Amino acid sequence: MVKEKYVTFGKSFLDRSGNNRSDLHKINEFKKDPLSRYLIYWRGKLPVTSDTRERMCWVNKSHPLVSNFKDSSIFLGLDENIPIFSINISQWTPLNYDTEAAKAFFDQNTYNHPEMPERSHFAELRGFMTKISAKEAEMAVIARGMHAWHENNSFCPKCGQSTIKTNAGWQRSCTHCKTQHFPRTDPVVIMLVKNGNNILLGRSHGWPEKMYSCLAGFMEPGETIEAAVMREVYEETAIKVKNVKYLTTQPWPFPSSLMIGCVAEASSTKISVDPKEIEHAIWISREDMLEVFSGSSDSIYPARKGSIAHFLIKKWLVGEIK
């Protein structure tokens, strides 16, 4: 394992207060608390206070958006005994909304809601996740993941009928067959594959130009972490690996994954990319990777700051991952 001090979303400060979620009376008391705070979610974006994006924008229980969208509220937990909620206002469409940009890997557009505090705007979390505090990052990852889960589970996968939000937002119940559904996190292996002084990087279809990262893939039922690492690397590049070791994890809210960081040694080096899996893959040396991280490389860009891939590669560069 490696120290996870700098893994974005990797710290826990919030008291999730799970034992109170089913207590409707308690949740209502939390909502009436004059100190209660609300984080507003809109179409995958979260509000920040200014262009510097160093703090998220919070509103109180008397804010008009809270009143208008109170049915969408989710209880996130307690921050030093202060109740924290999140609401979803995705029904709102701004006049300047860019539909095509919203489909991109990273939508750089920001949007101002007329009832939000002045200078605040909704922005893509990938763009400010390393600027906000670790505590706010934790709340952001919970809110984004939970709202995405609700948006994708309006209907029961068992009988196809509609579901309703229950348990303070941490459950959906089918109105027909009464099946109870709970948030799910998808396990994803992400691996730093080494061969001597080189590591293996790849890029997926649709990524920003020249961006490369560690290989990654979803785990399959009945599969160990080690087996998933070996399978995914081979499927994507035809590289065989051995000596798989677990390093650390990172919750990743795009939309709701747990990235399981590993390191593995390559026992073969010839790359044969499966174009259905990824677009391209390369071996890159430590010296070239240092240039990439320093910003002096014109050929490739590093994994985004705040991602576990960036964390793993940096740890390798400084010698903490042997």
Q: For residues 282 and 199, what is the distance between their CA atoms, to the nearest angstrom?
A: 8
C-beta of residue 210 within 8 angstroms of C-beta of residue 282: no
- Per the prediction, the chain carries an average pLDDT of 94
Strand 82-88 versus strand 121-124 pairing type: unpaired
d(CA 215, CA 186) in angstroms, rounded, equals 16
Query: Could you give the percent of the chain with pLDDT greater than 70?
Result: 98
Phi-psi region of 99 (alpha: psi -120 to 50; beta: other; left: phi over 0): alpha
In sequence order, the β-bridge partners of residue 15 are: 78
C-beta pairs of 51-58 under 8 Å, 24+ apart in sequence: 51/119, 52/131, 53/123, 53/127, 53/128, 53/131, 53/132, 54/128, 54/131, 54/132, 55/132, 55/133, 55/136, 56/132, 56/136, 56/139, 56/140, 57/116, 57/117, 57/120
Q: How many angstroms separate the CA atoms of 37 and 34, rounded?
A: 9
Mean per-residue pLDDT, 217-228: 97
Helix (H) or strand (E) holding 286: helix 286-294
Distance, in Å, from the CA atom of 107 to the CA atom of 125, rounded to the nearest integer, reads 10
Cis peptide before 255 (omega within 30 of 0): yes
pLDDT band of 270, cuts 50, 70, 90: very high
Looking at residue 297, what is its pLDDT? 85
Q: Helix count (H) and strand count (E) of the chain? A: 6, 15
The single-letter DSSP state of residue 168 is: G
> What integer pLDDT is reported at residue 70 of this predicted model?
84
Residues 6+ apart with CB under 8 A from 81: none
Confidence band for 3, pLDDT divided at 50, 70 and 90: low
Backbone angles phi, psi at 317, to 5 degrees: -65, -35
- Confidence at 87, pLDDT banded by 50, 70, 90: very high
Give the residue-averaged pLDDT of 66-71.
88
d(CA 143, CA 88): 9
Average pLDDT over residues 244-261: 94
What pLDDT score does 151 carry? 94
Q: How confident is the model at residue 56 (pLDDT cuts 50, 70, 90)?
A: very high
Query: Residue 232: pLDDT above 60?
Result: yes
**Per-residue pLDDT reduced to its tens digit, 182-215:** 999 999 999 999 999 999 999 999 888 899 999 9
Beta bridge partners of 58: 39
d(CA 322, CA 318): 10
Note the pLDDT of residue 104: 86
Which pLDDT belongs to residue 322? 81
- Output the pLDDT for position 11: 86
- Is 140's pLDDT higher than 90? yes
pLDDT digits (tens, 9 = 90+) for 20-35: 999 999 999 999 999 9
pLDDT confidence of residue 6 = 67
pLDDT at 1 over 90: no
Could you give the percent of the chain with pLDDT greater than 90? 85
> Using CA atoms, how far apart are residues 44 and 29, in angstroms rounded to an integer?
28
For residue 286, the one-letter residue type is R
